[in-house]
Structure 1
Amino acid sequence: MAETPDLQVYDLGLVAGILDRIGLVSLVDRRVGPRPGEKVSTGVALKAAVLNALGFLSSPLYLFGHFWEGKPTEWLLGEGITPDLLNDDRMGRMLDSLYAVGVTELFLEVAKEAHRAFAFPVRALHVDTTSFHVHGRYEGTGEEEAIHLVRGYSRDHRPDLRQWVMGLVCRDTGGIPLLFAPEDGNAADRKTLVDLVSRYREALDLGEVVVLDGAGYTRENLKALGSFPWILRVPATLREAKALLGEEFPEGAWVFLAPGYRGLEVERTYGGVRQRWVLVESAARGEEERGRLEERIGRAQREAEGVLRRLLARRFACERDARRALEEASRGLAYHRLVYLGVREERRRGKVGRPRKGESPLGVGYRLLARVERDEGKVAKAKRGLGRFLLATNVLERERLSLGEVLERYKGQTRTVERGFRFLKDPMFFTGSTFLKRPERVMALGMVMALALLVYALGEWELRRRLEEEGEGVPDQKGKSTARPTLRWVFQLFCKIRAMPVTWLRLVVLEGRVAVLNLKPHHERVVRLLGVERYYLLE
């Protein structure tokens, strides 16, 4: 190999090795087919794009070639691949090729190959969406399958920009994405999520249950899901759910679910589907909500006092009217009541001064006497619902899915798909917005982003699994051994090598052979456990 440069970011060898284990380049090139005269195949270009995405630099499309300057492209991508070949034009053609074969279908094939290569277990699938905004006008291209980049509810707080929605289906542990689907910028979660599962239910039949956000809990969606096992959060706005959340139950009805959680189960039918509702009560969440409740009660006290002042300023025709007005106002208070103390009679005369003997008043009115009082009954009812939420599942067999497992699978949402979205929105990996001129390229870039997440989550899961199996670890930020490092920290461990002049990591030629020098034991351990020895010459 002709070039022997300093390995400025040799953590890229970890990413390249994982992509090789999946067989990304050959899979993509088989689907796309050979292109005459092309020096860089679509598969190699896609591999380069993922390496770029995970290279701790947020390089826009037009700077793609600059990312590769000074890096060992032949070593990472293949003989004859030089930085000048990895330019924005090649990147654009690669995106067009990905769109042409179908980005969702292609990603699904890659995810299946990843599952075959790493054999990660799947007990539950987590489904969610997020939005990414774009710059530019993005006029329609006439492509029927292309998404519409339009304004919609912006999770990024940029309602002035057009956006597109990314849907992901991730496995329950590790957050490894199994399905990516781009959607219109104004796509509604309640329809998008279930459509995503329904369209690819056969291909996704890897786990026991699918976990969806509460927005998907509608009669139409439950019908569309059919027999596919699911766990959904029941919206608290449903009348029956609201009653259950505020109901008082005997202590013996509750069962232990997990540390800090207890629950109970009732059977319900909604949308024509029999299901188990699991009422969950979280101690930590209850404590947090109790503090917020006291704040609301304090604000409500001030509002109730304002209501009372306005009532005391009114003049009523009779005592009955005054009491009726007080009762109506009291019913409208959330946590307080207005206590009736009586009325004060007021006589109105036509003239000022001392009334003459036998002079009759022009009118008689009544002023309320009352006070604000905290309604402990209302407060107690509000406290009964603190820390509670409702989960539903159509898996009726308790031995197949216990109450504790229902909670565990649902809580996995924050550790999987939501964690993946935070990763994709991190400016260390991707820019917050894109400008690619055409919706088709935006869809393809979305696949590159999802593929980078796949590689990152897969590498982290595999490394942690192997470290725990072999009872080994790598240094954490404090220099202590850990068996559960983030892959981001592992990247930092490899990047730190170049910051220490004595142990710079280099490719050098020794007696006609290329060698990697100054790898430390923990570097070699990571390389060996991830199975990427080829890039570090440890074979």
Structure 2
Amino acid sequence: METTPNLQVYDLGHLGLVASILDQIGLVQTVDRFVGPRPGEKVSTGMALKAAILNALGFVTSPLYLFGHFFQGKPTELLLGPGITPELLNDDRMGRMLDSLYAAGVTELFVEVAKSARRAFPFPVRALHVDSTSFHVHGVYGSGEEGQTDTGDEPLVIRLTHGYSRDHRPDLKQWVMNLICADTGGIPLLFAPGDGNQSDQEALVPLLARYRQSLELGEVVVLDGASYSQENLGALRGFSWVMRVPATLKEAKVLLREELPQEAWRPLLPGYRGLEVESEYGGVRQRWLLVESQERARMEEASLQQRIARAEGEARKVLGRLTARTFACEADARRALSEASGRLPLHRLVYLGVQEERQWERVGRPRKGERPLAVVYRLRARLEVDQEKLERARRGLGRFILATNVLDREGLPPWEVLRRYKDQARTVERGFRFLKDPLFFTESTFLKRPERVMALGMVM
């Protein structure tokens, strides 16, 4: 009589596919080689990291002591290896895993894992996209989290502090995630945590320069306007780059508002047109591409109409104050009207004349032959939209400027400059949107030590 074998049923779900990919890129071996062995450990750091990735965002949003519950009812040995049970994946082991990742250097380790993945699954990289975002933390972080100075090879502790909050939570302290992603699928190639009050202008370009050899950079680097400065352009010598030019620059303001002939514009991508000018801003020869977006122009036209309505309210207050004043002569009244009209952003004050008023010594009908104490004048004027000012404002709608130091127009045509910049939204920024989606609730961090926050960022 045949006996029925003792069968056990486990819920594998998608975890088998994820585990297989992690095995193919050599995640466990790369991490363990980089971190080093720990005598007597049953679950290596690399294997603990693999378990955290299998748990995915549950590792990010749940307390560490609940981590092992995720693997209850799942084929843990099949996914992670013989002898590994959910009980071994306790909060102590996962906490030590975070500590080991920090001690090894989260950025250096991330780069090694990314290089291993590229060897296992080769993919072309035509551009690298660089950006940052912030994640807020809950709890009290005192003076012990004040950061360190880079004095050697020891890993630095980030500073959890107040800064510019992309999450609109200025009341909470935060840390910053810096990412460099490939244009192919937005695959991250470098992760680096930063202080909560990090300035992108001061942080992103030095990060590129520091890890240039590790990343084997030979591609075009795409950055946002925060990194466009004279100092950074000098530091980027040897790089090929595409950046947005800040609209606050004097040269940019002139170009954005300039009246240009229609024949000067050339089609770029659907809905976009542009024209190129040469620039040597910061002592670096570069091409500036003035871009005009139809969709953006429509949106900014709606905003302009709102600005007109708001400006009209302020302009009426100015007109009210002027008409309430008295002037010694008509010339003074005209001068005051002209100065006030010139300060209005979108309106003008139209002169309608003055009204003479005589001031007497006493109230009532003046006596025959009595001379007034003074003769003053009141303005009569009306408010209207200044069409010239409005036309100048409309001239810049939908416009922005991109810059590149690739001078070969055949190698990097204008439409390609725009496309590479637009790819920023579907690469690094898409990753940030995913991590910050309320559905996944990773926009905040619940850990006590900044060292573990840094390691958690690498897992994310």
Distance apart, 1:200 and its partner CA: 1.0
Question: CA 1:339 to 1:91, structure 2 compared with 1: closer, same or farther past 3 Å?
Answer: same
Q: For the Cα contact (< 8 Å) 1:173–1:415, is it kept in 2?
A: no
Determine if the alignment matches structure 1 residue 6 to structure 2 residue 7: no
Query: Is 1:134–1:435's contact at 8 Å kept on the other side of the alignment?
Result: yes
C-alpha spacing 1:37/1:81, structure 2 compared with 1 (3 Å): same
Q: 1:163 aligns with which of 174, 186, 189?
A: 174
Structure 1 pair 373–432 and aligned structure 2 pair: CA distance change class (3 A): closer
Shift of 1:433: 2.5
Are residues 1:325 and 2:336 paired? yes
| Letter of the structure 2 residue corresponding to residue 285 of structure 1 | R
Closer/same/farther in 2, CA of residues 78 and 152 from structure 1, 3 Å limit = same
Distance 1:14 1:338 in 2: 71
Change (3 A) 1:14 1:55: farther
* Cα shift at 1:196: 1.2
- Relative to the length of structure 2, the TM-score reads 0.93
CA contact (8 A) 1:53 1:430 kept: no
In the alignment, structure 1 residue 211 sits paired with structure 2 residue 222: yes
Summarize the Cα distance change of 1:58–1:440 in structure 2 as closer, same or farther, 3 Å threshold: closer
Residue number in structure 2 paired with 1:40 = 43
Q: 1:291 aligns with which of 302, 311, 316?
A: 302
What amino acid maps onto 2:80 in structure 1? L
8 Å contact kept, 1:131–1:165:
yes
Structure possessing the higher relative contact order (Cα contacts under 8 Å, 6 or more residues apart): 1
Q: What is the deviation of 1:206?
A: 4.3
AA of the residue aligned to 1:209: V
TM-score (norm 1): 0.80
Instruction: State the partner residue of 2:125.
Output: 122
Deviations 1:363-383 (A, max 9, x none): 100011111121111111111
- Residue deviations 1:358-400, cap 9 Å, x none? 2111110001111112111111111110000001111111111
User: Aligned partners of 2:58, 2:316: CA distance in 1, in Å?
Assistant: 60
1:376 aligns with 2:387: yes
Alpha-carbon spacing, 1:395–1:321, altered in 2? closer, same or farther (3 Å) = same
Tell me which moved more, 390-399 or 128-137: 128-137
Amino-acid identity (%): 71
- Match of 2:156, SS? coil
Of the structure 1 ranges 425-434 and 247-256, higher mean CA displacement relative to structure 2 is found in 425-434
- Distance in 2 of aligned mates of 1:248 and 1:116: 51
Report what 1:302 is aligned to: 313
- How many Å apart are 1:128 and its aligned residue? 0.7
Q: 2:161 aligns with which of 142, 147, 150?
A: 150
Q: Which residue of 2 aligns with 1:488?
A: none
Separation in structure 2 between the aligned mates of residue 242 and residue 137 of structure 1, nearest angstrom: 43
Separation in structure 2 between the aligned mates of residue 41 and residue 165 of structure 1, nearest angstrom: 28
1:338–1:3: structure 2 CA closer, same or farther, 3 Å change rule? farther
CA distance in 2 between partners of 1:209 and 1:11 (Å) = 35
**5 Å matches for 1:270-285?**
270-285=281-296
2:136 to 133, 137, 152: 133
Match of 2:267 in 1: 256
How far is the alpha carbon of 1:58 from its aligned partner? 3.6
CA–CA separation in structure 1 for the residues paired with 2:278 and 2:204 = 25
Quote the Cα distance in structure 1 between the aligned partners of 2:233 and 2:427: 23
- 1:189 equivalent among 191, 197, 200: 200
Residue in structure 1 matched with residue 98 of structure 2 by the alignment: 95
Deviations along 1:205-243, one digit per CA (max 9) or x if unpaired, are 345211111011111111111120111111111111001
Report the equivalent of 1:18.
21
Give the superposition deviation at 1:173: 3.1
The separation in 2 between residues aligned to 1:421 and 1:188, in whole angstroms, is 18
Mapped to 2, the partners of 1:170 and 1:221 lie a distance apart of 20
How far did 1:426 drift? Answer: 2.9
Tell me the residue number matched to 1:314. Answer: 325
How far did 1:181 drift?
Answer: 0.5
Deviation at 1:434, TM superposition (A): 2.5
Q: Is the 8 A contact 2:57 2:442 kept in 1?
A: no
Aligned pairs for 1:107-506 within 5 A: 107-138=110-141, 140=144, 145-429=156-440, 431-449=442-460
**Shift, 1:55, TM fit:** 6.1
Matched residue type, 1:4: Q
Q: Is 2:123–2:184's contact at 8 Å kept on the other side of the alignment? A: no
User: Which deviates the most, 135-144 or 161-170?
Assistant: 135-144
Shift of 1:411: 0.6
Paired with 2:6 and 2:412, the residues of 1 have a C-alpha distance of 58
Q: Deviation at 1:201?
A: 1.6
Assess if the C-alpha contact under 8 Å between 1:57 and 1:429 holds in 2: no
Mapped to 2, the partners of 1:134 and 1:159 lie a distance apart of: 11
Contact 2:271–2:293 under 8 Å retained in 1: yes
